[in-house]
Amino acid sequence: MLVHKGKCHPGERVLLLGCNGFIGKVLTKELKDSDFVVDTVSSKDIDLTDPNSVLPLVDKIKTCDHLVVLSCLTPDKGKGTDTLMKNILMAKHICDAILQQENRPHVIYFSADAVYNFEESLIHEEISPSPIDTYGAMHRTRELIFKEAVPDQLAIIRSTLVYGPGDTHNSYGPNRFRREAFREGSITIFGEGEDTRAHIFIDDLVKLTVLVIKNKSLGILNGATDESISFGELAKLISQFFNKPIEIKKKPRLSEPTHRYFEASRCYEAFPGFTFTPLKEGLTRTYQKMLEDPNA
Amino acid sequence: MSHNLVAYVGLTHLGLISAAAALEKGAHVICFDPDENLITRLKSLKYPINEPGFEEAINKNKDRIVFTSSLEDLKKADLIYVAPDIPTDDTGAGNLEGIKKLITLIAPYILRTACLIILSQVPPGFTRSLQGIVQPTRIDPEKIYYQVETLVFGIALQRALYPERFVIGVQNTKKALDIKYESFLKSFNCPLLIMDYESAEFCKISINAFLAATVSTANTLEEICQKIGAKWSDITPALRLDKRIGEYAYLSPGLGLSGGNIERDLRTIVSISQERGTYGKVVDSFIKNSHHRRNWPFNIFYNYILPQFSDKNMTIGVLGLAYKENTHSTKNSAALKLISQLKEFNVQAYDPLVKKLPFDSDSIILKPSVSETVKDSDVLFLMTPWAEFKDQDLQKITSLMRHQFIVDPYKILSTNSDIANSKELNYYSLC
């Protein structure tokens, strides 16, 4: 649950680590539109896995009021132990730089719903994290590293699957299904697509993040809607956007189906008046954007 | 029955109801509380509780009751019941400091022949731990008892007069019960179950755990019914006819465990389970289910109602603030939880008994009547199943509202009229 520590003043400075990713690009624009002074760092600017990154980071962080950490090697960049260790090293170097600051910034760490297991059928912020894979364990470990560095100035956003135009990933879900349908006229699902997941529209996640910054919020927020859907239903829904028949191809399942639902009441309590974009509306907006730019 | 002089110490809901029941059974009663203001109010017949039959019982027998702040008066008593509230913190854990202080205060004024009976809800081990407190006094350790109370707000006096059984915790089960105490208990004509302190203390907790299990199971199954198109209201009669479940089981769907006492006992079980290494997760789940359930009205509002309003500057009416009907208590009330969640909206609320909120809020206005609360509301929540609300005409209510969104978890309003089927009415309830 989030606690708000006050309102931001106009012109407060935000440093965004991981600005070139899917979320980073949209968030940078939204922050600028919201009159923040935004500084960004991408992996091309500073290699956060390198111990030498600490020094330039110290200078960068010195000038910021809010530090948003998006930098992460996602599973599509590799799922092995090497990726895990690199991600943890990144967190270590960022925290080393934070700890050298006289005035430590408000830190917003982007985690993932992978920190939860599938034993809980309904996830909310008070559920204890219990990751079941190295990706989830990585995010949980990084959460704890940040918590140790800035225990009283940390907000953690645990995001579920993000979709929307401009996604740089192509993982199993709305963006891959849309692209497959567009380019190949088919969507491939595992089994009958029984697994159930929540999805969050990129604009909603970015809006929530800006609210967290504006309210100087601390604590945990799940970036997830309370609208879950099976991948099979999702594939059908996406196929309906196209004027041609879309074949739903089925690959053998590799494991038992898993389901994940979220309870968003704590998000609504934290930000009264905020509502999530319904999945169908978000998919429609994404589809329309793709028609304008087929690479979206 | 004999002419016992029974004292009640700590004039809480429990203490006053128990005193009224003792009066009705012919006892002479001393009501003691160190709070002189409370005693003054009670002497002028201003009672802090609302229970059917309570005032009548006190007024009818006023020649046999004394309200006092004088410790000396306790020296006359044969039986001394101690019944203060055990306050709970935000996590529902009980704080025993108050009852310990109270017992320390009264102990020097208790005769060696008198019985000291703990009526408050205490954890296992508490009553035995009193030996240390009473050691320097004249109290006979064998005359310290723990008596299980099963107060139910709204029908408290009826239950106090006609208990299903008395469960008594004693220091030594081989010793006979004090004769005056036994005589008093027998005047209630119900079975007496005598056991050691720890068993009796845990018996009370066990009763609440079973109630919580039924409530949690009913709520869990009702939620599934909503998802799969089954009707819980069709299923419950079948369950009630099963003797293993029973006619009086708590099967009506609701908004979790309210009132505070049951949750406190569940927390005690979880705590003991953790300390002693037993598997207590099932009981922890009852608490979590209750918290989940309490969010039901708020989730309905956010998922189904709010998206239909482009202007968020809406007015929300809330009928009912007490945690259940026939009480002024708002402890763990689902209505208060909802109101705290709606603090960014304009809320107008009404309750027949609750006239003050336990927290400050600029956005909540307490209204004097149902119609004043409903008037110009965009959304109406019926949060406590008061009889007064059941009598309301749905047509009249909807005609007063600006928009017709009604969240009525307990199905208080009758939806048999034509208006219930109109397209303008958006009605949400548990099934």
Rounded to whole angstroms, the Cα distance separating B73 from B110 reads: 10
Q: Which fold has domain A164-197+228-258+277-292?
A: UDP-galactose 4-epimerase; domain 1 (3.90.25)
Q: Where in chain B is the domain with CATH 1.10.1040.10?
A: 205-294
Check pLDDT > 70 for residue B91: no
| The token pair that represents A183 in the structure block | 């380019």
Cβ contact A272–B343 (<8 Å): yes
Q: Which residues of B touch A263 (CB under 8 A)?
A: 292, 295, 299
Check pLDDT > 80 for residue A143: yes
- Check if B343 contacts A (Cβ < 8 Å): yes
Check pLDDT > 70 for residue B215: yes
Task: Show the beta-strand stretches assigned E in B188-290.
Answer: 192-196
Picking from A220-224, B169-173, B294-298, B416-420, which range would have the lowest pLDDT averaged per residue?
A: B416-420
DSSP B401-418: -SS-EEE-TT--S---SG
pLDDT (0 to 100) of residue B416:
65
Picking from B61-70, B132-141, B317-326, B371-380, which range would have the lowest pLDDT averaged per residue?
A: B132-141
Check pLDDT > 90 for residue B357: no
Q: Are A108 and A65 spatial neighbours (Cβ–Cβ below 8 Å)?
A: no
> Span B5-190: which CATH code?
3.40.50.720
Interface test with B, best of A201, A268, A274, A276 (most B CBs within 10 A): A268
Check pLDDT > 80 for residue A168: no
Distance in Å, alpha carbon of B258 to nearest chain A alpha carbon? 19
Check pLDDT > 90 for residue A177: yes
Give tens-digit pLDDT for B4-50: 899 999 999 999 999 999 999 999 999 999 999 999 999 998 998 88
CA atoms within 13 A on the CB side of A280: 5
Cβ contact B344–A273 (<8 Å): yes
**Confidence category of residue A79, pLDDT binned at 50, 70, 90:** confident
Superfamily of domain A2-162+198-223: NAD(P)-binding Rossmann-like Domain (3.40.50.720)
- Check if B308 contacts A (Cβ < 8 Å): no
- How far out from the chain centre does Cα A292 lie? 25
Q: Are B194 and B168 spatial neighbours (Cβ–Cβ below 8 Å)?
A: yes
Angle subtended at Cα A294 by Cα A23 and Cα A72, rounded to the nearest 5 degrees: 25
pLDDT (0 to 100) of residue B325:
85
**Confidence category of residue B86, pLDDT binned at 50, 70, 90:** confident
Query: What number is the average pLDDT over the span A199-224?
Result: 97
Decide yes or no: CATH 1.10.1040.10 for domain B205-294.
yes
Rounded to whole angstroms, the Cα distance separating A260 from A116 reads: 10
| Count of other CB atoms within 10 angstroms of residue A142 | 26
pLDDT (0 to 100) of residue B417:
65
Distance in Å, alpha carbon of B332 to nearest chain A alpha carbon? 18
* Collapsed DSSP state (helix, strand, coil) of residue B152: coil
Q: Are B112 and B95 spatial neighbours (Cβ–Cβ below 8 Å)?
A: no
Residue B380, beta-bridge partner list: B317, B406
Rounded to whole angstroms, the Cα distance separating A25 from B34 reads: 66
Cβ-based neighbours of B282, under 8 Å, separated by 6 or more:
none
* Collapsed DSSP state (helix, strand, coil) of residue B5: strand
| Count of other CB atoms within 10 angstroms of residue A162 | 24
Q: Where in chain B is the domain with CATH 3.40.50.720?
A: 5-190, 296-428
Residue B346, beta-bridge partner list: B315
Check pLDDT > 70 for residue B2: no
CB proximity under 8 Å: B 31-90 to A: none
Of residues B416 and B282, more confidence is placed in: B282
Q: Give percent of chain B above pLDDT 90.
A: 74
DSSP secondary structure code for residue A104 in this structure: P
Q: Are B131 and B124 spatial neighbours (Cβ–Cβ below 8 Å)?
A: no
| The token pair that represents B14 in the structure block | 């429990």
Q: Are A23 and A206 spatial neighbours (Cβ–Cβ below 8 Å)?
A: yes
Check pLDDT > 90 for residue B344: no
Rounded to the nearest integer, the mean pLDDT of chain B is 91
pLDDT (0 to 100) of residue B310:
84
Task: Considering only the beta carbons, identify the residue of B292, B295, B307 that sits closest to A275.
Answer: B307
pLDDT (0 to 100) of residue B4:
80
**Confidence category of residue B132, pLDDT binned at 50, 70, 90:** confident
Query: What number is the average pLDDT over the span A182-195?
Result: 95
Give which of B367, B214, B382, B377 is closest to B297, Cα–Cα. B382
Picking from A54-58, A277-281, B43-47, B232-236, which range would have the lowest pLDDT averaged per residue?
A: B43-47
Cβ contact B307–A268 (<8 Å): no
| Amino acid symbol at A168 | T
Query: What number is the average pLDDT over the span B298-321?
Result: 91
Query: What number is the average pLDDT over the span A165-189?
Result: 91
Query: What number is the average pLDDT over the span B271-293?
Result: 93
Cβ-based neighbours of A116, under 8 Å, separated by 6 or more:
A123, A127, A129, A130, A131, A136, A158, A260
Interface test with A, best of B302, B314, B361, B364 (most A CBs within 10 A): B302
CB proximity under 8 Å: B 281-300 to A: 292, 295, 298-299
Give the torsion sign (CA, B261, B264, B268, B274): positive
* Collapsed DSSP state (helix, strand, coil) of residue B327: coil
Cβ contact A265–B306 (<8 Å): no
Q: Which fold has domain B296-428?
A: Rossmann fold (3.40.50)
What radius of gyration do chain A's Cα atoms show?
Answer: 19
Domain boundaries, chain A: 2-162+198-223, 164-197+228-258+277-292
| Amino acid symbol at A135 | Y
Query: What number is the average pLDDT over the span A219-242?
Result: 95
Check pLDDT > 80 for residue B363: no
Rounded to whole angstroms, the Cα distance separating A225 from A233 reads: 17
